[in-house]
């Protein structure tokens, strides 16, 4: 797919080297955007993705940045602006999932969950808003688990994704006067290398799916691309679920 709905726009995707993040990078590039994305450890995948976009005629920048590090997040935003001259779209996709029985859940895992799933979103949004103008778009990647957590051990993860709902609503009030929208996309189970659709874990969740299957990363990316585009200008402060009926 090659359209021009995002021609002239510059996008930064936190956590964009694989899975849903990589699909978002590809889709926004296909829509005409210049794309920068962060990664932590998947250097080979990041370089492969960047090179593929460049080879197809796009512009891309891969930035190694830990989303648990406030300084690294701010540097990634500023590096994007310095390289491409502006910033129009921010997608906060970086996230971690720690699952353990309550009695065994480690405090360091709890703290990391908050640092990456919530704190990094606030920091990146705060920094990006300094560079965005009218028509800016910020899109957080939450989870349907904010509304439904069907298995034990996932309380801190569900809490972190529920926190994004409130954060998105509150920040919509701050950003609206600048002409910037902010929304929260809540995927259900999606087929990725970290959560493959053919795993035993996936089998345990399949019964919750109204459509009887896991989602595809491209389906999430298409939803993000719509929110990043001009037709979504009247949507802000919303948490929008795309979960195949998982929470129905």
Question: What are the pLDDT digits (tens) for 108-127?
Answer: 999 999 999 999 999 999 99
Digit-coded pLDDT (tens) for 185-226: 999 999 998 889 999 989 989 989 999 999 999 999 999 999
Closest CA to 49 of 38, 76, 232: 38
Q: Are 171 and 178 in contact (CB under 8 A)?
A: no
- What gap in Å lies between CA 75 and CA 71, rounded to an integer? 6
**1 pLDDT exceeds 60?**
no
Task: Determine the CATH number of domain 10-242.
Answer: 3.40.50.720
Instruction: Spot the catalytic one: 157, 208, 214, 226.
Output: 157
pLDDT score recorded for residue 89: 98
Closest CA to 120 of 40, 2, 239: 40
- What gap in Å lies between CA 83 and CA 89, rounded to an integer? 15
pLDDT score recorded for residue 209: 92
pLDDT score recorded for residue 136: 98
Give yes or no: 157 in active site: yes
Q: Which residues contact residue 28 at a Cβ distance below 8 angstroms, ignoring those fewer than 6 apart?
A: 6, 11, 13, 35, 89, 91, 221, 224, 225, 228
The band of 42, judged by pLDDT with boundaries at 50, 70 and 90, is confident
Model confidence, pTM:
0.96
- What gap in Å lies between CA 169 and CA 8, rounded to an integer? 28
Q: Which two tokens stand for residue 238?
A: 């919303």
Q: Are 84 and 61 in contact (CB under 8 A)?
A: yes
Any idea which residue has 């896991």 for tokens? 214
pLDDT score recorded for residue 176: 98
Q: Where are the domains of the chain?
A: 10-242
> What's the rounded mean pLDDT across residues 6-23?
96
The band of 8, judged by pLDDT with boundaries at 50, 70 and 90, is very high
pLDDT score recorded for residue 214: 95
User: β-strands 10-14, 34-39: how paired?
Assistant: parallel
Closest CA to 206 of 191, 225, 217, 219: 191
Q: In what order do the strands lie in the sheet with 181-187?
A: 60-64, 34-39, 10-14, 89-92, 137-141, 181-187, 239-242
The band of 4, judged by pLDDT with boundaries at 50, 70 and 90, is confident
Digit-coded pLDDT (tens) for 134-178: 999 999 999 999 999 999 999 999 999 999 999 999 999 999 999
């Amino acid at each position: 797919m090659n359209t021009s709905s995002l021609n002239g726009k510059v996008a930064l995707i936190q956590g964009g080297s694989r899975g849903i993040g990589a699909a978002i990078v590809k889709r926004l590039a296909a829509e005409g955007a210049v794309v920068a994305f962060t990664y932590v450890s998947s250097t080979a995948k990041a370089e492969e993705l960047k090179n593929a976009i460049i080879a197809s005629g796009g512009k891309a920048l891969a930035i190694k940045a830990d989303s648990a590090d406030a300084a690294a997040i701010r540097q990634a935003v500023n590096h994007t602006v310095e390289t491409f001259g502006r910033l129009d779209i921010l997608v906060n996709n970086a996230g971690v999932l720690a699952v353990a029985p309550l009695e065994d859940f480690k405090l360091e895992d709890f703290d990391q969950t908050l640092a990456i799933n919530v704190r990094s979103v606030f920091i990146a949004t705060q920094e990006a808003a300094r560079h965005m103008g009218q028509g800016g778009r910020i899109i957080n990647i939450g989870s349907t688990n904010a509304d439904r957590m069907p298995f034990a051990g996932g309380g801190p993860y569900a809490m972190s994704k529920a926190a994004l709902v409130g954060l998105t609503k509150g920040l919509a009030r701050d950003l609206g006067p600048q002409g910037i929208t902010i929304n929260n996309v809540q995927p259900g189970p999606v087929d990725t290398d970290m959560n493959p659709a053919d795993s035993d874990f996936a089998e345990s969740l399949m019964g919750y799916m109204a459509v009887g299957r896991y989602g595809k990363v491209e389906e999430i990316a298409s939803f993000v691309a719509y929110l990043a585009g001009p037709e979504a200008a009247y949507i802000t402060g919303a948490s929008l679920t795309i979960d195949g009926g998982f929470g129905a």
